[in-house]
Amino acid sequence: MRPRFSIFKCLGFAAVAAALCGAGPAFALSNASAIPVWLAGYVGEGNGQIAPVVLERARALYLEKVAEGRVRNACYFAMDATRPNGTAGGRFYMICEASQSFHVISAGHGGGRNLQGVVNFSNGRECAKNFGNAMDSNLTAGGEYLTNEIKTSFKGYYRASTNRDAVLTRSFVQFDGIGETANARQRAIGGHAAALVSGICMQKKPESPYANREGYVPFGKLVTYAGGRSDGCTSWSPEDTVQVLSMVKDNPTTLYIYPEARDISAIARAVASGQSPAKSGSYWNASCLSEIGSPQFWPKEKLEPIIAQYKQDHPAPPPRPIPLCEAVSN
């Protein structure tokens, strides 16, 4: 792993960044060696705050990519996946230092999988215990990312009111990983709204631009799951997604997700030795650590062969045709 540096010791780096960026991000890189006073008030482990190590690494990543000329966005993102899921407090951070804006929202973590009779690396809804970067693992991988292109896809129709159907299209912002997360694109890891259309049947709607050759479209029930889990992506409420996507459309920025494999190992060692993580210099949200006991990181080198063998031993059944919808009177 390449060496990292502390944002508290990067005055020289900040000066270089300012020189390279010219009229880049508006926030004063020359003052980036210390956390601004206004931002320091949001640092901590309480609701609505960001843990010091998460902010330090997110800020260092952002400054590095600004200096390299890969980011000109005035805002950057961070996520603390050790915090509880749900709407209380939040754990996804949008930080814009030029405008002194700090906003925290909820975000879902990867649900993992339970390969029955082989291995269980699934996660509950509230707290994540398992993390990893293996293909088809559905796990969150902590580390460094850059946002990239946004793709929007049609998901289906749903009944919005008694006499009106609506279309769900969902936008997905691709994450490109760095280092431990370098396979993010291969894993199709990114961010999107926590919304889908479930219980699908095929409805006759030949006038729809989304209709197939026979004039049918998928129709089902709209489900939102802002407090739920994803297949390894970062998911936000549909309302919050609008703001997040507007911030990165044609304007990439950085995202740092905590914890990394090294952090998980440090916490696991502390728990095994009966030490307090804080006393050993490590960080994990206390309430979630109490719930999960000890976290685990599943490296792709270990998990991918297990998943591949499981898929070979348990082939998916042949796809069934989607049933036609029953006639519905408006």
Distance CA 158, CA 328 (A): 12
Residue 257, in any domain of the structure:
yes
Residue 26, in any domain of the structure:
no
pLDDT at 22: 35
User: Which 3-state string (H, E, C) describes the chain?
Assistant: CCCCCCHHHCHHHHHHHHHHHCCCCCCCHHHCCCCCHHHHCCECCCCCCECHHHHHHHHHHHHHHHHCCCCCCCEEEEEECCCCCCCCCCCEEEEECCCCEEEEECCECECCCEECCCEECCCCCCCCCEEECCCCCCCCCCEEEEEEEEEEEEEEEEEEECCEEEEEEEEEEEEEEEHHHCCCCCCCCEEEECEEEEEEEEEECCCCCCCCCCCEEEEEEEEECCCCCECCCEEECHHHHHHHHHHHCCCCCEEEEECCHHHHHHHHHHHHCCCCCCCCCCCCCHHHHHHHCCCEEECHHHHHHHHHHHHHHCCCCCCCCCCECCCCCC
Q: What is the pTM of this model?
A: 0.88
pLDDT at 71: 98
The token pair that represents 67 in the structure block = 């200096």
pLDDT at 330: 47
Residue 309, in any domain of the structure:
yes
The Cβ-side half-sphere exposure at 85, using a 13 Å CA radius, reads 24
The token pair that represents 272 in the structure block = 């095994």
Range of the domain at 261: 41-148+175-183+239-313
pLDDT at 7: 38
Residue 133, in any domain of the structure:
yes
Residue 101, in any domain of the structure:
yes
Tally of domains in the chain: 1
Mean pLDDT by 10 residues, the chain (330 residues): 38 34 41 80 95 97 97 98 84 97 95 97 96 98 98 96 92 97 97 96 97 97 88 94 97 98 97 90 95 97 98 93 79
Residue 24, in any domain of the structure:
no
Residue 226, in any domain of the structure:
no
Residue 318, in any domain of the structure:
no
